[in-house]
Structure 1
């Protein structure tokens, strides 16, 4: 019986030892670090991996994440250089670079960062007017990041970025800004409308100008073509007349032929409305036949009348 009790005691003791060992085996996950103290004194920093803690003597003081973190602070009242009070809330991105300094450097790191952010923001905004504050976010962000990063370095914290999330001016200022923006939009609309009308009138005037130029050019070309046609027609007529004369000269016409041509010309004259016709005496015989009822006066008769009158 004593032997069985002894064995059972050893088994219980072994189980207790195993439980204690199992409870003191610690696995640190990725991107984390654990701060270990032994008898109240900093012992070391456990990084990613398997670790065994000495029971009763060592304890985990703080589990620190090494990932980049973001904290959104409540809006803080700030006063600009021109005495305008507004609410500004900020967003801070930071990362713990030294878990030991983060644990022992300051009591409450988040509260310290929040207060430091508010103080820094008031100092920067206090040197700017309202319009500059609304248009200089990048400058404010850069200044705040530099100041916070330098101030939090002894705490094992690196500030990677600071952003102004919202800038909330007073209600009266917002209404005034909205009216100003509306007036500016109306002014731009009026300018664009006037510019559009101006461009439209310019285009219409240019179109009319080009149309008038084209019409004048068309009229000029038409007149040139008409003059060229008339000149060409006259040239053709003169050339035909010259060719006919040349042909007559080349043919060496006799007196009967000349008389016959004269008779043809006389016939055309007799077809007109004249009541008296003067003909050469050479064709008076033939002309008397052609004249008909019209009075025919020969050239010889004209000569005789002139002598009598003398």
Structure 2
């Protein structure tokens, strides 16, 4: 009975030892085996065997592309504190797993230190606006420095990205106010230009309207004058002279105006003077005015003719009083010879 139990224990213990010599490694992972504390070999993905108890798995290294986000606070050239988020994508070189495992204790801390060093050396050379414009230059500088440093430890820096630039809250508020002011300035300029265009267009429309209105009034007056001329010609043909015809036309227009005013029921216009004697007085005044103007015109013509005659007589008189022309020097010399 005791021997049976002992045999079972030995078998179980043997199976445990046997199975402890079998291990698997996941895809994109490498396992480091040590024998009595000394490096033995590197096992890649798949099923592997090791000597039980003697061989030990010292550790496993991830061969996938990893990303480390580093938040760095620094100061720009124009004394503005800003926080930069640097994303570093890195990977262990498969042929240098030994260096990555044994030479470097903590890859994340090492990468973080180099990122801080590079960023705090590059950003203080730039102004805040340049940091936003030249963030790719910062990323390139970080990658170049990390590649030179981390390649020795078996790491490959695939890419570095400046994923965020966060200035101080007050600085961002000031930048937003500047941006808003610039946009308001541009909007005001566009609004002023639009208002100017509307004013110019309105002025041009008013000028064109007044021009057409003036042209219409001129055409109207031209047609009225032509109609009056034809009316005077018709009246002359029946033995009425021009003065009487003009007076008759004016009186007729006066009564036509009174008639048109009487047809307007809601008109507040009052024509003064407005009496039955107005037409007769107007006709008499017009005839007297025409007669007086003709007399004044005749007198002015006679006065002008008299002045012109006196001027001519005065010129003739001056010509008769002038002495004869004196001989020139050449004529005197000829006479002496």
Q: Structure 2 length normalisation: TM-score?
A: 0.55
> 111-120 or 164-173: which moved more?
164-173
Unpaired segments of 5 or more residues in structure 1? 216-272, 274-310
Work out the CA distance in 2 between the residues paired with 1:100 and 1:198: 77
What residue number does 1:184 align with? 182
Q: Does 1:20 pair with 2:17?
A: yes
> 163-172 or 43-52: which moved more?
163-172
What residue number does 2:141 align with? 143
Aligned length, in residue pairs:
211
Match of residue 132, structure 1, among 130, 135, 145: 130
Deviation at 1:36, TM superposition (A): 1.2
Work out the CA distance in 1 between the residues paired with 2:89 and 2:194: 49
Deviation at 1:193, TM superposition (A): 2.8
Q: Residue 159 of structure 2 aligns to a residue in which SS?
A: strand
Measured on the aligned residues, the alpha-carbon RMSD in Å equals 3.0
What residue number does 2:91 align with? 95
Work out the CA distance in 1 between the residues paired with 2:21 and 2:195: 85
Work out the CA distance in 1 between the residues paired with 2:56 and 2:189: 74
Work out the CA distance in 2 between the residues paired with 1:95 and 1:196: 59
Work out the CA distance in 1 between the residues paired with 2:193 and 2:136: 35
Work out the CA distance in 2 between the residues paired with 1:140 and 1:201: 52
Match of residue 72, structure 1, among 62, 69, 72: 69
Provide Cα deviations, 1:130-165, integer angstroms capped at 9, x if missing partner: 221122112211221222122111121111222223
Work out the CA distance in 2 between the residues paired with 1:179 and 1:20: 73
What residue number does 2:173 align with? 175
- 1:18–1:172 CA distance, 2 compared to 1 (3 A): same
> 30-39 or 97-106: which moved more?
97-106
Q: Residue 126 of structure 1 aligns to a residue in which SS?
A: helix
- 1:22–1:175 CA distance, 2 compared to 1 (3 A): same
What residue number does 2:153 align with? 155
